[in-house]
Amino acid sequence: MKNINESININDLNFNLDFGNFNPDEIEVDETINAVFLIDVSSSVWSYVQELNLAFNEFTESMQKSHIADKLLVSIIEFNDRINIVNGFMPVENISAMDFSKKIGGATALYDAVYAGLKNALDYRENLENSGVETKTILYVITDGEDNSSQTPPHVVKKMITDLKKEERNLFSFSSILFGIGDAANFTQAQKDMGIEHLAQIGTSGEEIKKMIGFISQSISSVSAGKSVPAF
């Protein structure tokens, strides 16, 4: 990984990823909630991946039946030492059941994944707004480990978030949350270094994983209603 103090041009960071986001011209609502999920699938995730699969798929089914389904767009990105785009922003009704165990293995390129997911979210947000669609964006990072294989320094992510929040209109239309699973020593500093606004520490049990996903559902509903993300 590059030294975090090394100067780097954001435009030099190109992971050649194809997100395949939903065509903004086909969106029929005046406002969308864009939820991007960055999910750690490095080797250590194996101990709780089945609980994560179950809870995430229950979340998807619930959101597909919810009153905000018509305006909820979801992007899912898996990462270990590589970034895998499961899907760019798509209507929640188009999201299929997930099995995160298929990609488990390798190290943790946390900063690379957050940068890539955030950049796509902000680029897509701009495209939607240029099409006349108001957008609220929520970034969810789910990880149990510290970064050990990124080329992106965390301060690059922090600057993107800081610059975004400088605009008053973005204070209530963008939120970022890191869910740290397990030992806080592995992710607390990463959350601070990237400038992610909220940190929630959870355990690896099925009950804790389900609680996390339940909170995600609640936070999406709160943002949809014009409220801030509630405390975990």
Q: Are 88 and 20 in contact (CB under 8 A)?
A: yes
Q: What is the DSSP letter of 104?
A: -
Q: How confident is the prediction along the chain (232 residues), in pLDDT tens digits per residue?
A: 434 334 455 555 667 899 999 999 999 999 999 999 999 999 999 999 999 999 999 999 999 999 999 999 999 999 999 999 999 999 999 999 999 999 999 999 999 999 999 999 999 999 999 999 999 999 999 999 889 999 999 999 999 999 999 988 888 899 999 999 999 888 999 999 999 999 999 999 999 999 999 999 999 999 999 888 888 8
* Amino acid 4: pLDDT: 38
* Amino acid 12: pLDDT: 57
Domain boundaries, the chain: 34-185+194-224
* Amino acid 1: pLDDT: 41
HSE of 108 in the Cβ direction (CA atoms, 13 Å)?
19
Q: Are 85 and 17 in contact (CB under 8 A)?
A: yes
Type of residue numbered 100: F
* Amino acid 232: pLDDT: 85
Q: Among 176, 68, 69, 52, which Cα is nearest to 121's?
A: 176
Q: CATH number for the 34-185+194-224 domain, one of 3.30.428.10, 3.40.50.300, 3.30.56.10, 3.40.50.410?
A: 3.40.50.410
What token pair was written down for 130? 């240029």
Q: Are 83 and 119 in contact (CB under 8 A)?
A: no
